[in-house]
Amino acid sequence: MKISDINKHALEQLRRELVLRGYSKNTQRTYCNEFKQFLQLLGNHDANYMSNERIRSYFLYCADKLQLKNSQINSRYNAIKFYYEQVLKRNMLLINLPRPKRASQLPKHISTRDIKKLFSVVTNQKHALMLKLCYGMGLRVSEIVNLKIKDIDSGNMQVLIESSKGKKDRYVNLPESLLEELRDYYKKYRPKKYLFEGQSNGKYSIRSVQNVFKSAMKKANINKDVGIHGLRHSYATHLLESGTDISYIQQLLGHSNIRTTLTYANVAQKSLKKVKSPLDNL
């Protein structure tokens, strides 16, 4: 389905507002794609003159007919809410519209034993260093590909993570065990701007790093349904298990709210792991 001519301007208005407010490229793309789905279904009905009841019917259609997951409906809700409240300034339009309950999911992490197995099967020096830094500094995959040479301060053993999620900078600690490996890598590859360069000296693509992780997991025979973000989850979980104060972990991960970091406490409680099932005592 195509967007009718009457609503093409609405999509462009949304895009411009996102750009002016400095939203990330990824957020711009997500909001525009979700809003596009809404506009396509409207046909020749003008999006600027929608009622609360009509929008409610749309979300009922998403849940009942399209059977979208709650996370998908929430994503679509955010885009539509942004358009009516931030672009059209109709703040009261969606006020009584219920939002699907978010699923409470624990972060998926990898055991230290499997982390070692993972690193042992990666023979390519660049690939190995990427994965080790993801785990060793708790980085998002987007942060790995955006790492620049100038961001690494080996004197203070710190790395600057620039303009990450929420447009925030933060410092993370450079693992001492990687310093020599990092220097050796630099001498061999001689990157100019980005630490990990792809074609034409540009930054390495996110998809390529994800594929490196996926291949390593398969090669190491680690049958766990987890993506490369699991290395960041593992970093936080293992720090908690070793007794690191959760407020420090919050700063290292760059979380705005301590509640986000506290989700790791549910998977990193060693005291709970020591509780034996009564079956073991039979």
Supply the DSSP symbol for 278.
G
Q: Which of 31, 135, 204, 264 is catalytic?
A: 264
DSSP secondary structure, 3-62, as one string? --HHHHHHHHHHHHHHHHTT--HHHHHHHHHHHHHHHHHHTTS-GGG--HHHHHHHHHHH
Q: Which of 81, 117, 165, 219 is catalytic?
A: 165
Q: Which of 140, 233, 235, 238 is catalytic?
A: 140
Nearest 5 degrees, angle CA 161-CA 269-CA 159?
Answer: 15
Is there a catalytic annotation at residue 255? yes
Q: Which of 232, 233, 235, 238 is catalytic?
A: 232
Q: Which of 36, 76, 233, 255 is catalytic?
A: 255
User: In degrees rounded to 5, what are phi and psi of residue 148?
Assistant: -110, 155
Count of CB atoms situated within 10 Å of the CB of 250 = 19
171 DSSP β-pair partners: 160
Q: Which of 56, 81, 170, 229 is catalytic?
A: 229
Supply the DSSP symbol for 257.
S
Is there a catalytic annotation at residue 165? yes
CA 5 to chain centre: 34
Which residues have C-beta within 8 Å of that of residue 37, sequence separation ≥ 6? 76
Is there a catalytic annotation at residue 77? no
Is there a catalytic annotation at residue 229? yes
Distances, alpha carbon 249 to alpha carbons 19, 156, 252, 269, in Å: 31, 19, 5, 15
Is there a catalytic annotation at residue 16? no
Is there a catalytic annotation at residue 8? no
Which residues have C-beta within 8 Å of that of residue 176, sequence separation ≥ 6? 157
Are 173 and 266 within 8 A, CB to CB? no
Which strands, in side-by-side order, build the sheet including 152-153? 152-153, 158-161, 170-173
The residues annotated with a catalytic role in the active site are 140, 165, 229, 232, 255, 264
